[in-house]
Amino acid sequence: GIISKTDSKRLNDALSQILHTMDKCGLVNQKGYNILIQFLALKIYDEKNNSNNLKYYINPDEAAYKQLTEDTLQDFLKRIEQIRAKAKTQYKKILNENYFDNKNENQVKVAIEIVRQFQNYSFTNSERNNLYQLVFYRFASQFSKADNAQFVTPLQIIDFIVDIINP
């Protein structure tokens, strides 16, 4: 299926929210971008492999944590880690190094926002070119501005993620 104009606007709004959170948390940089790409890969893996029982979600109780050690937040972080453990075998290049530190509050805030924004969106049912354009060009331009007009993510990684979505 093709991303409709409504979906396109929704995805753009989601990306704006994610960037806003990354900015507030000081993660509009290579580290933040790597986390975003890894969390997108986890989302796609979950859609492709757990379609009847998706694990890539965050509920309001989990998102409303006060401390990183709270059980509800830990449930979310364990779910993400379970997806990562399985996805790592399929997406070795992207998930080989874990950029996400679940003990770093700013990174946890960004992870929650990425999951919250993407959880109700299906990337595997999206048209390859639209997804490429909406997600990666949007973020590449944000990060190129942030890092003195140098692209921070090799195009091969972008192509690889697009291939994961719609081989």
Distance CA 24, CA 112 (A): 14
Q: How far is CA 14 from the centre of its chain?
A: 11
pLDDT in tens, 122-163: 877 766 555 655 566 556 555 554 444 444 455 555 666 666
Of the candidates 53, 74, 66, 48, which has an alpha carbon nearest to the alpha carbon of residue 163? 48
pTM of the model: 0.81
Give the pLDDT band of residue 9 (cuts 50, 70, 90). confident
pLDDT value, residue 157: 58
pLDDT value, residue 61: 95
Beta-carbon-side half-sphere exposure of residue 26 (alpha carbons within 13 Å): 3
